Amino acid sequence: MSRLGDLIKLERTRQGLTHKQVAKKCGVSDKYLMEVEAGTRIIGDDQARRILKTIGMKNHTESEFTLEDIAATVDLQSAVPQLQRAAEPKKAESPKQKKDEGAVAGSIWLDALQGVLKHVPVYNVVMKEVDHRLLPVTGGKIMGANADKVYYMVAPDQDLRGFRVHKGDYLLVVPAQAPVDGAIMVVKTSVGLVLRKIKVMPRFQACLQKYDTELESEIKNFSDLTIVGRCVRLEAEL
C-alpha cells in the first residue's frame, strides 16, 4: 500500500466505515478508494486531505506537516510493543501512567492497527517459534488464507539457493495439502520438515527439487507425499 493509502485505510477502519460509505461521502467510487488503499492508484495530497477531513479525521494535519509526513510515522514493527500492552489485562496504574497510556490508546494508529494487523509467528523446521512479524489482515485473511493458519518458516539450509532462497530467509506459508506446480512447498518427510520446489508430473507423481550447487530431484507418488503448506512470500536480508 502507499503511505497515503495506509493513512486513509487506518482512519476509515478506526471510524468503522466501509469503502462504499466513504466513497459516497466523498463523491468517489468505491473501486477508486480500494485502489488507493491498495496502492495501485496514485492520490494527490489535496484529494487525500479532503477524504480524511470528510470522514472525520481531526487535529492530525498541522500546517507544518504534509500528509506524507504524517503517513510516514506509521511504523508497523515499532507498533508491536504498544499493541501487546493494549492486549494485556489492566493493572493498577498511577495517574501519570494513565495519562501517558491514554494518549497512546486513543491515537488513530493504535485504534486502527489493532483491527487490521496480525501477529504472525516465525517457526524453524521443528516448529519452534523464533520470531514474529506483523501482517495486514483483510476480511480475516492473509494472502487469501485464514489469518490464524499462516506462519513464517526460516529456511534451514542452502538447499534452495539455486531458487534464490538462502539459509535464514523467511518464507510465508499458507495451508496446502496438494502439490502445486512450480511452488516452493513445506513437505513432511521421515527426517522432518523440508522445503522443496515442486514440479507436478503425469501419473499422479511430483518431482521434489533442491538446488544448492547442482539441481537434485526426487520423484514421489502423490499418495506418498505429505504436503504441509505452500510458500507465498520470501523475506531476505540484504
> Are 41 and 131 in a shared domain?
no
> Are 190 and 101 in a shared domain?
no
> Are 160 and 210 in a shared domain?
yes
> Are 167 and 99 in a shared domain?
no
- Among 63, 91, 117, give the residue marking a domain's end: 117
Q: H/E element holding 145?
A: strand 145-146
- Among 101, 117, 133, give the residue marking a domain's end: 117
Which three cell numbers, joined as nine digits, stand for 220? 514421489
Q: 113-170 pLDDT, tens per residue?
A: 555 778 899 999 999 999 998 888 888 889 889 999 999 999 999 999 999 999 999 9
> Are 67 and 173 in a shared domain?
no
What total number of domains does the chain contain? 3
- Among 62, 88, 117, give the residue marking a domain's end: 117
Range of lowest pLDDT (71-80, 88-97, 124-133): 71-80
> Are 136 and 212 in a shared domain?
yes
> Are 217 and 147 in a shared domain?
yes
> Are 168 and 202 in a shared domain?
yes
Is the pTM above the cut of 0.75?
Answer: no
Which three cell numbers, joined as nine digits, stand for 208? 521434489
Instruction: Calculate the average pLDDT of the chain.
Output: 80
Instruction: Judge contact between 208 and 198, C-beta under 8 A.
Output: yes
Q: H/E element holding 218?
A: strand 215-221
> Are 84 and 105 in a shared domain?
yes
Q: 149-164 pLDDT, tens per residue?
A: 999 999 999 999 999 9
> Are 105 and 85 in a shared domain?
yes
Q: Around Cβ 152, how many Cβ atoms within 10 Å? A: 22
Structural domain that includes position 230: 120-235
| CATH value at residue 35 | 1.10.260.40
Going by pLDDT thresholds of 50, 70 and 90, the confidence category of residue 15 is confident
> Are 33 and 138 in a shared domain?
no
Phi first, then psi, for residue 210 (nearest 5°) are -130, 155
> Are 33 and 100 in a shared domain?
no
